[in-house]
């Protein structure tokens, strides 16, 4: 018995995809990708809407349900690039300030602990920013979404071996950056 993808129907031997359902299914991880690319949580929903509009305008939609996630990923990345181009240098500067600021929260009772944690977090963010964008994205998706190599490969449209290699190299580069910054493991 064959298992059918939840967002696809077969009509006259050809797959038609329910794009609304597909977008809802992939929306959580697309949010993570978009947030990583633009660095501004307030704009994520706007870019997701642009992704939704893109599939209504596109004449080159995938018909295979297995190609939906990679297609949405590419469209999301493209929409992020459009966003970044239109905002320019001033917006990137504001985004960086927003990412670097974090309130002390509950650790205000231990100022030294808060300061050390804040500096460690700053060093990790700086190390992440030094990584190539694909490495950074794979690391963030792996650890924020808790995806397996298979999940990453399927969503990014690459093989598991490519994901494994990218993660290995990204972790290696991240370690080198943190050691160079003098950050010790907590």
User: CA-to-CA distance for 59 and 45, rounded, in angstroms?
Assistant: 24
Give the residue numbers spanning the domain of 94.
1-101
Instruction: Check residue 101 and give its pLDDT.
Output: 61
Q: Are residues 12 and 94 in the same domain?
A: yes
Q: Are residues 96 and 119 in the same domain?
A: no
For residue range 61-110, what is the model confidence (pLDDT) as tens digits?
Answer: 888 888 889 999 999 999 999 888 887 765 555 666 566 665 545 445 67
- pTM for the complete prediction? 0.53
Q: Are residues 115 and 167 in the same domain?
A: yes
- Reported residue count of the chain is 186
Q: Are residues 120 and 84 in the same domain?
A: no
For residue range 9-34, what is the model confidence (pLDDT) as tens digits?
Answer: 444 434 478 888 888 899 999 999 99
* CA gyration radius, the chain: 19
Q: Are 17 and 63 in contact (CB under 8 A)?
A: yes
Instruction: Check residue 78 and give its pLDDT.
Output: 92
User: Which has the higher per-residue pLDDT, 159 or 7?
Assistant: 159
Q: Are residues 92 and 120 in the same domain?
A: no
Q: Are residues 110 and 96 in the same domain?
A: no
Instruction: Check residue 2 and give its pLDDT.
Output: 41
Per DSSP, 181 falls in state T
Per DSSP, 103 falls in state -
For residue range 107-138, what is the model confidence (pLDDT) as tens digits?
Answer: 456 788 777 888 888 888 888 888 888 888 88
Question: Nearest CA to 82 among 49, 57, 50, 35?
Answer: 50
Instruction: Check residue 154 and give its pLDDT.
Output: 92
Question: Nearest CA to 49 among 68, 74, 65, 27?
Answer: 27
Instruction: Check residue 7 and give its pLDDT.
Output: 47
Instruction: Check residue 91 and give its pLDDT.
Output: 56
Residue 186 above 80 pLDDT?
no
Where does a domain end: 82, 101, 120? Answer: 101
> What is the number of domains present in the chain?
2
User: Which has the higher per-residue pLDDT, 186 or 37?
Assistant: 37
For residue range 32-52, what is the model confidence (pLDDT) as tens digits?
Answer: 999 999 888 889 999 999 998
Q: Are residues 8 and 75 in the same domain?
A: yes
Place of tokens 């018995």: 1
Q: Are residues 32 and 119 in the same domain?
A: no
Q: Are residues 94 and 111 in the same domain?
A: no
Q: Are residues 63 and 122 in the same domain?
A: no
The model's confidence at residue 181, banded by pLDDT at 50, 70 and 90, is confident
Q: Are residues 32 and 72 in the same domain?
A: yes
Read out DSSP for 53-83? HHHHH-S----SGGGHHHHHHHHHHHHHHHH
Where does a domain end: 51, 76, 101? Answer: 101
Instruction: Check residue 77 and give its pLDDT.
Output: 93
Where does a domain end: 77, 101, 125? Answer: 101
Q: Are residues 57 and 139 in the same domain?
A: no
């Amino acid at each position: 018995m064959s298992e059918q993808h939840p967002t696809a129907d077969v009509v006259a031997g050809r797959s038609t995809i329910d794009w609304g359902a597909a977008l809802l299914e992939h929306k959580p991880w697309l949010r993570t990708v978009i947030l990583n690319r633009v660095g501004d949580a307030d704009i994520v929903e706007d870019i997701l809407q642009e992704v939704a509009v893109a599939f209504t305008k596109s004449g080159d939609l995938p018909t295979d349900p297995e190609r939906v996630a990679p297609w949405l990923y590419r469209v999301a990345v493209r929409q992020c690039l459009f966003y970044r181009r239109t905002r320019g240098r001033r917006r990137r500067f504001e985004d960086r300030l927003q990412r670097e600021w974090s309130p002390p929260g509950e650790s205000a009772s231990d100022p030294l602990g808060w300061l050390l944690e804040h500096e460690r977090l700053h060093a990790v963010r700086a190390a992440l920013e030094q990584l190539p964008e694909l490495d950074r994205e794979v690391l963030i998706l792996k650890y924020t979404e808790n995806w397996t190599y298979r999940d990453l490969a399927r969503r990014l449209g690459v093989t598991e071996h490519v994901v494994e290699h990218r993660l290995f190299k990204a972790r290696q580069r991240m370690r080198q950056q943190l050691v160079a910054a003098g950050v010790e493991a907590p």
